[in-house]
């Protein structure tokens, strides 16, 4: 059975920390859950691994405004829905066959299970805001089994 390690980030707000780039080295895919803030961040991430990114509420420069509001990623046997603001979710993830939803916006890391679907917010890897940690996550996938590995930086 193949094992996949995916890098999950969100809310860079124009700041791609060297610690995040180093931590993402060796991942198979990167999912950025919005509020990129600077299109150069996506270019830099592409040098590490393929990137799926969605538009956040601050992504209105010409290049970033072309990002989709939502996207779907298939990794092995797992379907992942990506959206920036979870309160904007307007589909039944379980009925849609999704195993996980990756989201951002709150800057607060979160992992919860709802009706067999993993809801994952990796937290904010950009500028510190709202007294939240600087955080990201790995998503380990084996078959349809998901394991989230939260990563917090002491910066």
User: Over the stretch 43-78, which tens digit does the pLDDT of each residue have?
Assistant: 999 999 999 999 999 999 889 999 999 999 999 999
- Asked whether residue 1 carries a pLDDT value surpassing 80, the answer given is no
Mean pLDDT score of the chain:
96
The architecture of the domain spanning 3-153 is 4-Layer Sandwich (3.60)
- Whether the pTM exceeds 0.95: the reply is yes
129 confidence band (pLDDT: 50, 70, 90): confident
Contacts of 124 (CB under 8 A, 6+ apart): 10, 11, 12, 13, 104, 107, 132, 134, 135
Q: Domain boundaries in the chain? A: 3-153
User: Over the stretch 10-33, which tens digit does the pLDDT of each residue have?
Assistant: 999 999 999 999 999 999 999 999
* C-alpha distances out from residue 42 to 6, 54, 57, 111, 149, Å: 16, 11, 16, 24, 22
């Amino acid at each position: 059975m193949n094992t996949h390690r995916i890098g999950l980030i969100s809310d860079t707000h124009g700041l791609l920390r060297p610690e995040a780039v180093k931590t993402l080295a060796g991942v198979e895919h990167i999912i950025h859950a919005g509020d990129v803030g600077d299109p150069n961040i996506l270019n830099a991430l592409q040098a590490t691994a393929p990137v799926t990114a969605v538009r956040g509420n601050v992504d209105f420069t010409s290049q970033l405004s072309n990002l989709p509001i939502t996207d779907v990623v298939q990794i092995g046997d797992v379907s992942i829905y990506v959206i920036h603001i979870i309160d904007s979710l307007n589909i039944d993830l379980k009925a849609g066959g999704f195993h996980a939803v990756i989201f951002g916006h709150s800057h607060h890391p979160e992992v919860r299970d709802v009706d067999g679907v993993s809801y994952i917010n990796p937290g904010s890897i950009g500028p510190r805001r709202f007294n939240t940690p600087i955080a990201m996550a790995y998503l380990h996938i084996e078959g349809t089994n998901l394991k989230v590995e939260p990563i917090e930086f002491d910066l």
